[in-house]
Amino acid sequence: MDLGALQNNVNTTLDNLYQGSLEQERARSLPNGNAFPLSERGDKADVLAGSDMKRSQPLLIHMNRKLKEEEPRASSLPSIPNPFPELCSPSNSPILSSPTAGQGPQREGGSHVVKVFSEDGTCRSVEVTAGATARHVCEMLVQKTHALHDDSWSLVELHQHLALERCLEDHESVVEVQSTWPVGGDCKFFFRKNFAKYELFKSSPQSLFPEVMVSSCLDANKGMSHSELIQNFLNSGSCPEIQGFLHLKEAGRKVWKRFYFSLRRSGLYYSTKGTSKDPRHLQYFADLNESNIYYITQGKKYYGTPTEYSFCIKPYKVRSGTKGLKLFCSEEEQSRTCWMAAFRLFKYGVQLYRNYQQSQSGHSQLAWIGTTPLRSVSDNTLVAMDFSGCTGRVIENPTEALTAALEEAQAWRKKTSHRYSLPTPCQSSPLSTAIHRTQPWFHGRISREDSQRLIIQQGLVDGVFLVRDSQRNPKGFVLSLCHLQKVKHYLILPSEEEGRLYFTMDDGQTRFTDLIQLVEFHQINRGILPCKLRHYCTCVAL
């Protein structure tokens, strides 16, 4: 046998074996596991066969090993934080986040800055979370301003360019409301009291829902009286129909027309034929669930309203401008209050009553505030004690306990009698003429229009009041009081008799040493006023 021919056969066999193993490694190195095309295989084999490359150094196998060595190194590197979480979800972004990011609970949005204004023009920036509600923000501001906590504090949304404002419900998200504002607009949040927020659950139904405006659309409620119908509505959520005439401004025109409207759970309708409620004559007008209702603060100036009692339904999709606003005007304040209260009840339903219950139960002071809710004190928790001896003892005899209470009351009456007695000429009269200026219900030299505006903003509820300086009488004062949704003004005049200074509202028949005594008296007794003084208007500096 020729040795040269045998060596050539061996070389050819080795070349074929090497090329076959090379193609297997290339097919295994593909990410999808597919082999190269046949034409590409041939080209690659020819190139490798004709090269002077050593058979013991297959480059593709070497590169594959290098990639396998770098995989654990790459997985040990920290994940790159996502700078735009709202544009790229971590669960859908394997590059910007680690594979284990979606296993834990999704973190709520980061902190947001909300700027809140007060009536005196001061403002405060509050950092809140994405889920912070209006109640949380109010409690935070009450704590920061050291104000007296009650359920009347509210966050008010104001659109100055549209002259619209509304009180946010306690469960509404402040960040979500702020996100609906136009960029660069003049929308603001105001922190103020609103005594009418839950008045529909406190006062009698007849005062809020007039009988002429309420009718039932359910056959089961046909035989109910007006009071039973309203009470059933508040308790069970079965909705009666609110009806009445309203002035409506036509879209794109300055003309106001009078229509007969009906408010139901399904929406707001108006009749195209008088007061007919026939389905053929009822025209669907607005959706409750996709809109918010606002007060119009300057209706005649901005929209030419026929009366001052105007309001607006603003759909969610309307961000800026007057296009899309549904403007209404009622004949009186009671009618406007009824429409707006019914709108809130129809939209939020039982959630509104839950907000009221939460504000009354004291559960609003959550753990994040760090304050302990005040315990309620009733007569059953009070225990009569006797501290006359070295150690105190509990008085168990009811007669002895009553005697001790009367003696203590008499002692306190003697201690405080000098404050309620008329001052003598030697006493300092400037104190009685200036002590009221430290009270939260005194507002100094504000005009009659400003006092009315302040009372309207804080709720047209019976007993809402403030005291101010008189503009006509330099030495007098004025008590501005709300009764039956109207603001009335009572003149307080100082008078001096035998060197003694006192204040009176009824030509001296009832005299008071100072304005504090006058206010405290009418908080307990009605006197010449139509109602007692219940809530005072106040402004808190932020």
294-298 contacts, C-beta under 8 A, 24 or more apart: 294/159, 294/164, 294/165, 294/166, 295/164, 295/165, 295/166, 295/340, 296/163, 296/164, 296/327, 297/163, 297/164, 297/165, 298/163
Is 358 within 8 Å of 170 (Cβ atoms)?
Answer: yes
Reply yes or no on domain 204-217+224-363 having CATH 2.60.40.10. Answer: no
Could you tell me where the beta strands, DSSP code E, fall in 183-322?
A: 187-193, 214-215, 241-249, 256-264, 267-271, 282-286, 291-296, 310-315
Amino acid at 296: I
Angle subtended at Cα 225 by Cα 220 and Cα 227, rounded to the nearest 5 degrees: 115
Is 295 within 8 Å of 164 (Cβ atoms)?
Answer: yes
Query: Which regions of the chain carry the CATH code 3.30.505.10?
Result: 436-536
Burial class (CB in 10 A: 0-12, 13-18, 19+), 322: middle
d(CA 134, CA 231): 28
Could you tell me where the beta strands, DSSP code E, fall in 178-232?
A: 187-193, 214-215
Strand pairing report for 535-536 and 464-469: parallel
What architecture is the 111-193 domain classified under in CATH?
Answer: Roll (3.10)
Structure tokens at 102: 């979606």
Could you tell me where the beta strands, DSSP code E, fall in 388-483?
A: 393-394, 464-469, 477-483
What pLDDT shows up at residue 141?
93
Is 264 within 8 Å of 342 (Cβ atoms)?
Answer: no
Is 262 within 8 Å of 286 (Cβ atoms)?
Answer: no
Residue 173's Cα: distance from chain center in Å?
Answer: 7
d(CA 515, CA 477): 9
Query: Phi and psi (nearest 5°) for 50?
Result: -90, 0
d(CA 463, CA 447): 20
Quick one: residue 216, left, alpha or beta (phi over 0 = left, psi -120 to 50 = alpha)? beta
Name the residue among 541, 542, 538 with its Cα closest to residue 195.
Answer: 538
d(CA 437, CA 493): 16
Structure tokens at 541: 């500096």
Query: Which regions of the chain carry the CATH code 2.30.29.30?
Result: 204-217+224-363
Structure tokens at 100: 């284990």
Tens-place pLDDT, residues 189-217: 999 999 999 888 887 766 677 878 887 55
Residue 476's Cα: distance from chain center in Å?
Answer: 39
What pLDDT shows up at residue 189?
96
Fill in the DSSP letter of residue 203.
S
What architecture is the 436-536 domain classified under in CATH?
Answer: 2-Layer Sandwich (3.30)
Is 98 within 8 Å of 79 (Cβ atoms)?
Answer: yes
Mean pLDDT (the chain, rounded): 75
What's the distance, Cα to Cα, between the start and end of the chain in Å? 110
d(CA 304, CA 326): 14
d(CA 136, CA 133): 5
Query: Which regions of the chain carry the CATH code 3.10.20.90?
Result: 111-193
Burial class (CB in 10 A: 0-12, 13-18, 19+), 479: buried
pLDDT tens, N- to C-terminus, the chain (542 residues)? 555 565 566 566 656 655 665 555 555 544 444 444 444 444 444 434 444 444 444 444 444 444 444 444 444 445 555 554 444 444 444 333 433 333 333 334 578 999 999 988 889 999 999 999 999 999 999 999 888 888 899 999 999 999 999 999 999 999 999 999 988 888 999 999 999 998 888 877 666 778 788 875 544 555 566 556 556 665 555 667 889 999 999 877 889 999 999 998 889 999 999 899 888 999 999 988 899 999 999 999 999 999 999 999 999 988 888 888 999 999 999 999 999 998 998 898 888 888 988 888 764 444 334 333 333 333 344 667 776 666 677 777 777 777 777 676 666 544 444 444 444 444 445 555 677 888 989 999 999 999 999 999 999 999 999 999 999 988 899 999 999 999 999 999 998 887 788 899 998 888 998 899 999 999 999 899 999 999 999 888 87
Fill in the DSSP letter of residue 349.
T
